[in-house]
Structure 1
Amino acid sequence: MTEYEASCLGKTCFPSRRTARRRARQIRGEGGPRFHTYRCDYCLGVHVGHTAGHATYLRTGPHGPIHIQEYAT
């Protein structure tokens, strides 16, 4: 997986950090994991992503989310 795929591809691009933080809080309030926001070096938008080391899924594949245990080589 390239750095671009990990940081930008398949993620929602938010217009501002405020909007991204609001969505991250909404996900947490629905029982989801804790996320952080960051400025993307590729699209220059703001993304919401897992805190390093806390991802439960790598990406959504053609048949749904790819669980980390299923992805391991």
Structure 2
Amino acid sequence: MKIEVECKTYTVSQAAKIIGVCSKTAYQMVTSGKLPCIRISDRKVVIPKAALEQWLVDAVQWPDKTIKET
């Protein structure tokens, strides 16, 4: 019997592809605290899927749609 387990995290490289940056940039974002992560060990970092989805929602910058009178 094969049990399928849904992974709840991304590697930094997987997260980089999702947000459209290179792996180096994603690692810099993790190091600087700009990207949510869980540090498993000194060399292993994962990005929780739920945290990445929320980060994307929170990072959206909507243009100011107010019309200025001239």
Decide: shared fold, TM above 0.5. no
TM-score, scaled to structure 2: 0.28
Give 1 or 2: higher strand fraction: 1
Larger Rg: 2
Instruction: Give the alignment's TM-score, normalised by structure 1.
Output: 0.28
- Structure that is richer in helix per residue: 2
